[in-house]
């Protein structure tokens, strides 16, 4: 939730974190679209001064077409093209780890 123009609205927030330093980048959007995700990544790359070798994702529909066994995923065509362009690898949380993260563990 955020206050925009005096009105409280729900927003989608992308959080990119640099785990070694604890530094983090946050960017809010009115809707959780694939375009917002990719744009936010580009802003995070500029903030951190480059692209990390690996980005870890939850199993969001804008990135994952299908969840396979373990950490394997079928990614959307657009995220494949995006990460190929920027030169990073993606990793995914298992469903169990994703549930724990959402509960704050």
Quick: pLDDT tens for 52-95: 999 988 888 899 999 998 888 999 999 999 999 999 999 988 76
Distance CA 93, CA 76 (A): 16
Burial class (CB in 10 A: 0-12, 13-18, 19+), 37: buried
Instruction: State CA 97 to chain mean position distance.
Output: 15
The two structure tokens encoding residue 63: 């990135």
CB 70 within 8 A of CB 34: no
Which one has a higher pLDDT value, 21 or 63?
A: 63
Q: What is the pLDDT of residue 97?
A: 53
């Amino acid at each position: 939730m955020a206050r925009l123009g005096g009105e409280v609205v729900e927003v989608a927030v992308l959080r990119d974190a640099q785990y070694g330093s604890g530094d983090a980048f946050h960017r809010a959007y009115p809707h959780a679209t694939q375009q917002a995700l990719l744009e936010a990544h580009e802003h995070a790359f500029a903030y951190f001064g480059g692209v990390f070798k690996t980005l870890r994702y939850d199993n969001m529909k804008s990135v994952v077409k299908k969840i396979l066994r373990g950490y394997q995923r079928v990614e959307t065509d657009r995220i494949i093209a995006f990460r190929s362009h920027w030169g990073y690898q993606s990793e995914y949380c298992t469903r169990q780890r994703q549930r724990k993260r959402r509960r704050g563990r």
